[in-house]
A = this chain, B = another copy of it.
Amino acid sequence: MRRKVYVEGSRPDVRVPFAEIALTGDNPPVRLYDTSGPGSDPAVGLPPLRAPWRTGRTQLASARAGEITPEMEFVAIRENVDPEVVRAEIAAGRAVLPVNVNHPESEPMIIGSRFLVKVNANIGTSAVSSSVDEEVEKLTWATRWGADTVMDLSTGKHIHATREAIIRNAAVPIGTVPIYQALEKVNGDPVKLSWEVFKETVIEQAEQGVDYMTVHAGVLLPYVPLAVNRVTGIVSRGGSIMAAWCLAHHTENFLYTNFDELCELMARYDITFSLGDGLRPGSIADANDEAQFAELRTLGELTHIAWRHDVQVMIEGPGHVPMHKIKENVDLQQELCAGAPFYTLGPLTTDIAPAYDHITSAIGAAMIGMFGTAMLCYVTPKEHLGLPDRDDVKAGVIAYKIAAHAADLAKGHPGAQAWDDALSKARFEFRWEDQFNLALDPETARAYHDATLPAEPAKTAHFCSMCGPKFCSMKITQELKEYAAQGMQEKSTEFLESGGKVYLPVVQSL
């Protein structure tokens, strides 16, 4: 069975959650990273656990000063690494620890290529769909299945109230794209946007506790024409809004020209930048083109400016990219942005499968994770078609937890394979309940098994309905192992004398 356990740090209020899965027999329990949070009554919200840890410094400033904050100790325990590694990676800008001082309810987590690959889930209302309650439920649902951060991309009515409800109930960092709300404030007319409206919006969201913000400060006026002849133009909402503003005013992007002041704001709340890729490709045809990489160069420039202000930075990446062009994205981003964490949307490796883009993109996400991307923004089956509902959120998170874990394995992350080994050992030993409990989605694994072999005895059967009793290779191998243990030649003789049955069905009647 699965239960939540806490590992205490050097002070009693550093309590790091893990999901502990008890196994049958003398198999040791397995501890997994746990994003689900302590649970809350939506009307009350979560307790402000980190309130006593507040200092006047950002995590980056503390790290640079050689200080290991309680947040850093927390993530060190969570990731099973030395706290000094955490501090050093943050100090170097290679990892971010997003914690707005006004979101003390969150459990610290870290995003960087030296650590476990993380998954973000996007939720949020749109003008034509969803409600506040639904969004809070999507938040807890997403983190239950393993989302490490959640972005509230609400664009309809009640943006402020929706965000407030989400933050107060979020044990994970919350990200936003402030330009969406700024646009609502000017009645949806991009041309009426201004630095003042944007700044006011950032302050409003900062006060609420948003931990990281996507800012499309790299969509520069001269880059816009580079996107005009693409198959799918500009597909980032923020990117297209800023491009429209730049063109209408024939003036440079106000996010770029006011970036220093924006950094001062971000530093005040210790908000992390997620520098948006407003010119990311929206189709296979547009991948890795000049528009995309021109913006990436500017994001590299902005990274250094933010760092000068002690503001943490991650860099957003595509999008739609065929497999052979994925590695170039990571290599170039790491070079241009001096190792700042990469945070990519997929990428989708083909455009042909709307309704299955959690799969087209899990392929790209796993690969880009292997190459060093630190966080993967999920894509749900509804991508390109509509707003994700509860089932879509789960499907997206599960697909991306698979991609992230596959990347952890490929990177040789210490401890990652222990989960696979525990599950495979349970599988080989026909410990069905252990196999279900260790699964990323125990309920569905159990339901699929029971669909063809529902009887209780089948849970201890040494086969499943896939092959049936006579053809279970695992059963046969277990017998082989026993012979091997006793000397094969000798056993060969004995085996034949005993009637030569390799399989004695456990549940004949099934």
Contacting B at CB under 8 A, from A431-490, are 435-436, 438-441, 444-445, 447-449, 451-453, 464-474, 476-481, 483-484, 488-489
Which of B285, B324, B405, B480 is close to A243, meaning CB atoms less than 8 Å apart?
B480
A sample of 7 more A-B contacts (CB under 8 A), given A349-B366, A349-B409, A351-B423, is A126-B468, A231-B425, A232-B425, A360-B406, A363-B366, A363-B402, A381-B448
A residues contacting the other copy or chain, number (CB 8 A): 130
Given A232-B474, A249-B492, answer yes or no on A356-B398 (Cβ-Cβ < 8 Å): yes
Which of B192, B385, B410, B444 is close to A323, meaning CB atoms less than 8 Å apart?
B410
Within the assembled complex, what's the spacing in Å between the Cα atoms of A191 and B495? 10
Interface string of A230-243 (1 = CB under 8 A from B): 01111111011101
Interface string of A177-197 (1 = CB under 8 A from B): 000100100001111100000
A244 contacts the other chain (CB 8 A): yes
Give the secondary structure class of A's interface. Answer: helix
Shortest CB-to-CB span from A510 to chain B, Å, is 6
Q: Is the CB of A496 within 8 A of B191?
A: yes
Within the assembled complex, what's the spacing in Å between the Cα atoms of A496 and B251? 13
Name which residue of chain B comes closest to A470, CB basis: B188
Chain B residues lying within 8 Å of A190, measured Cβ to Cβ, are 476, 502
Which of B128, B247, B283, B355 is close to A480, meaning CB atoms less than 8 Å apart?
B247
Q: Is the CB of A424 within 8 A of B283?
A: yes
7 contacts between A and B (CB under 8 A): A232-B425, A282-B428, A353-B401, A355-B441, A359-B362, A385-B466, A386-B464
Within the assembled complex, what's the spacing in Å between the Cα atoms of A407 and B243? 34
